[in-house]
A and B are shown apart, each in its own frame.
Chain A
Amino acid sequence: MNRAVRRIGLVLGVLILALLVNINIQQVLLANETRNRAGNQRTVLQEYNRERGPILVGVDPAARSIPTDDQYRYLRVYANGPMYAPATGFYSALYGATGIERTENDVLAGTGDQFFVDRVQQLLTGRQAKGGAVSLTLNAAAQQAAWDGLQGKVGSVTALDPSTGAILAMASSPSFNPNLISSHDLAASQKAYEQYSTDPNKPMLNRSLVSTPPPGSTFKLVTTAAALESGKFNPNSEIPGPAQYQLPGSSKKLGNWNKSACGANDKTTLTGALEISCNSAFAWLGNQLGSDALLKQAEKFGFNHSFTVPMRAATSTFPNDLDPAQTAMSAIGQYNVTATTLQMAMVGAGIGNGGKVMNPYLVNEILSSDLRTISTAKPSQFSQAMSAANANTEMQMMVSVVENGTGTNAQISGVSVGGKTGTAETGGDRPAVAWFVAVAPAANPRVAVAVSIENSGEGGAEVSGNRLAAPIARSVIEAVLNGQ
């Protein structure tokens, strides 16, 4: 019988071996896949179990975790929730995380590689692991000014430090309250989320990064840059500026916003055309330069390129393969040209920074749980969009727009501000988009800001970048300049 018993032993041995192999497959090989499957509360709970690091603006936390006594041991609370929401995002047991909460999760949860030593220490000392902190580039005063200016409107403000690309303000309106979505009362969380996601004004959209209306006349900054870079034009070059521009190969005519010619004898200068935002002059200029030159210039400023700040920004577009009529329309920021306020702030910042366009970024520092600096952002250049000389020239032209042209509402006494207005038609009955791009102080720019108001709530009234958007840009600039 013993041979039979040994055979039975072999069979049982094979069964146990199968179990051993199988648990290794489940717990090691497939573990990551299983952990990330929908419906796995453990992953979320494990994060909640640990004190998540704060998101800092200056020294104040915009988001921090406070202990609770429910099953999620730490609650995420947001100071000035709606104002900082485009940057922080939310952190929800039901809906996961967005914004910096998502992109910097490794740091905040303390699971990133840079925390390895901390984790080992915490393991050895038996202390509960804590996440690291993320310090943002945002300037609290500038963000507040941008947020205040957008109240009651649909639109966004993005402000950059021209020399580094650091994002100083990133406000979006309407916004949402991340405290409501991050609530541990899951029913309340669900209610808030559903209400926000069905709101036609899309409060959970970070418009600074993802809303891409046509930039309208603010795009003339790019066309002007292309003109200066071509070497064929200088600020005083005389160019035609009739009341209407006959679109080539089309029966349609493009008119100026004030329905009159831009200068005596239907002529003006490049500076004059920029000052009063002369459509006919820039349409003509676009075809003089050619669509390829415009495309090249636009791409040097960051169009047709996707930036991660670290959230991914929508690509601002400048189309190619344009016929002369489309080129004319594109030169004034219409047709299929689209831009985020981040993109237009980069245009202003590039001009203010001697032609150097810096990559935009929102995270200034990564800190350990005891607020030791682990790493600091290193500003990096995206491109040299234009020569330093041409950039300085264009900067002076922008100052002229604010001092003598359409951008008077951006004037600040004692500070020379450069700017450009824009009013973009979006077709149909939809309201026009009011734009303003500003850079200041002109001699040594410390802030570039782009404002777009997609809907002012003022119905069909003529929308003007100067009236709606310029005051917001001005208060953001004042906030940055007064803060130091």
Chain B
Amino acid sequence: MQAALAFRPADPYLDIDSYDPEADLMVLNLGPQHPSTHGVFRIKLYLDGEVIVKAVPHAGYLHRGVEKLCEKLAYTQITPIVDKNDYVSPMMNEQAINMGFEALLGVEVPRRARYLRTIVAEMQRIASHLLWLGTFALDLGGALGGGATVFMYCFRERESILDLFEELTGCRFHYNTHTIGGNRHDIPAGWPPRVRAALDTILKRTFEYQAAMTEHRIYLDRTQGVGVIDAELAMSLGITGPILRAAGVAHDLRRHAPYHAYDEIEVQVQTETAADCLARSLVRIREIRESIRIVSELVDNVPEGPICGHRPIKIVSQERVKSGQAYACLESPRGELGTYVIGGGANKESSPYRLKIRPPSLHALSCLPYVLPGHTVSDAIAILGSVDPIMGEVDR
């Protein structure tokens, strides 16, 4: 903690040769295949003793050229591709990309589909945050009741949500359930009571998980005061979502720029002020509860009507737009997930000319050169886990 203060504000472009000629620096490559890097990601750490002097992140190991690929595909073919971007919350990717296309093509989404999208989005948020909690506990090693205990519990709860998604869409993970103008799968019979039962169970257990965090000496020691990302730095870096809210800024697109059915319900924005790893943990666990409340409120009151307001797909290249641009965004579990699209591309204008996905994780990761200096290597693992990076969407 003392060492960390000496490095505030950290210079991400520090010339390592000018640091201290007398110091015996060591270079440590963390990753790309280390389990705690949450995918394939490498940080080059310059260490003075055990303290990080400079951190140089290297992304791009998972770059698959999604944006280039999408320039060759018709609008309706892109949904299953972007499923694989943020592979922890595929529903969000589908929704964000289709919202972008709907804005470009001028398509309205019927009310029932907007409700359905809200419900699956919130369930996906619960699943995503649970996975985060499990892997974060794993990152901290024995901090949460020894090794993989919390990890296993969180996967058990997440499994119940994936089961519900399987009933709804037929797929456990890469759903391809959203399309331009609505959804492809309607709510099956008897689904709402099963959703409520599963979420009630999860709700009870979130209190246990919170106790496992806030009443655990080791967990507190490893997260309290570690990795402070203050509000100014976060906003300048473009970090949104739980990280920004943990820094005391009540910014949530669900409430402040409503989309789907969020204009019909009240979303309580969860904030903390400490801006450290613990604050981010608390924001996320409270967001799970908030999401459970939203789903419970909505799942029994889904209005009747069609689930897709657009003509059915007969040929994939039927959606055409000559020119124009659009941007649409939503609050994914990691922050603002946006789609910027320019129309009028290949295949007789049935593909985007340029598609850009604005991934929240890219911004979250770019905080590392600012935050890591002054921390120890063990703190680096905790900080990296606490920003919840998903390499699939960072590298695309």
**A and B interact physically:** no
Q: Which residues of B contact A (CB under 8 A)?
A: none
